[in-house]
Amino acid sequence: MQCLICHKAIRVTWPLSYLMLPSRKEIPPICEDCQSGFYKITTAVACPKCGRRQASLKVCSDCEKWQLHSTYHYANHALYQYNEAMKAYMHTYKFQGDYQLRHVFDTEFPHFIESFQGFDLVVALPIDPTTWTTRGFNQVLGLMGSLKNSAILQMNRAQEEKRQSQKKRQERLKTGNHFQVDVEYRQQIENKRVLLIDDVYTTGRTLRHAAETLYDQGCGCVESVTLCR
Ligand SMILES: [Zn+2]
Ligand SMILES: [Zn+2]
C-alpha cells in the first residue's frame, strides 16, 4: 500500500486480530509523515462563525465585518487548517486534477459532516460549467464519499471572470452571486435546514452567496461545513 500523496510505502503494524480480516478501510490512505502536515482544528478554540483556528471562542475580526452587513444566521464549521500542506494537497487535487486524492479525506470528511445533526438537506457547492469542462469533476462531491448530496443549487459563472484563486481578496468580495436554485426544487426547500459543503472557506464570500440564494428561496436555516479554513 502506497501513500496517496508522497507514494512511499505505508507500513502498518496490525494487531493480530486484523490479520484474519484485512479491510481496505483500516489501511490509512496516507503515511504518517504526510498526515502530520495537516493540522486539525479544535472546535473548542475556533471562531464560532467561520471555524477559523484561533486562541479563543470569540467571533473573529473577519466575521465581525460580515455581521455588520448581514441580517441572516450563518455559521461555518471546518475540519482542518488551510496551511502549506493543505494548499499543496488542494493544488494537486483540484488544479492538476488528481482525482485519486479524494480518498485522502473521503472517509473522515463525511464523518465530520454527519456529526452536524438536525439538517434536512446536505448540499455540495456546485462548480460552474467551465470548471466542469477543464477539471472533469466536482472536488466537493469527491470529498463527500458516499454521502447523499441534494443538487438543489446551480452555478452559472460568466466565462470571462477570473478564477477565485487568481483574484485578490477585494476583487473576490465584489464578485457577483452566480448561484440559483434549480426550478424543480423551489417548492421543496421552504423552511428547510440546509448544510452547505465546500472544500475551502477563504473569504466566506462564495458560501455566503450560496446561503443568501437559499434564504431568498425560503430556506429556514443555512450553515456550512468545509474541509479547511
Ligand atoms: Zn506520504
Ligand atoms: Zn470568523
* Residue 101 grid cell: 486524492
- What pLDDT digit, counting tens, does each position of 73-89 carry? 999 999 999 999 999 99
* Residue 10 grid cell: 505505508
124: CA distance to ligand 2 center in Å? Answer: 21
Residue 77 CA to residue 223 CA, distance in Å, equals: 8
Q: Which domains does the chain have, with CATH numbers?
A: 1-36 (no CATH), 39-160+168-228 (3.40.50)
* Residue 211 grid cell: 446561503
Mean per-residue pLDDT over the chain, rounded: 89
pLDDT exceeds cutoff 50 at 159: no
* Residue 71 grid cell: 441580517
Using an 8 Å Cβ cutoff, are 225 and 75 in contact? no
Using an 8 Å Cβ cutoff, are 80 and 38 in contact? yes
Of the chain, the percentage scoring pLDDT greater than 70 comes to 86
pLDDT exceeds cutoff 80 at 99: yes
- What pLDDT digit, counting tens, does each position of 39-53 carry? 999 877 899 999 999
Identify residues whose C-beta is under 5 A from ligand 2, the ion: 47, 49-50, 52, 60, 63
pLDDT exceeds cutoff 70 at 138: yes
Identify residues whose C-beta is under 5 A from ligand 1, the ion: 3, 5-6, 31, 34
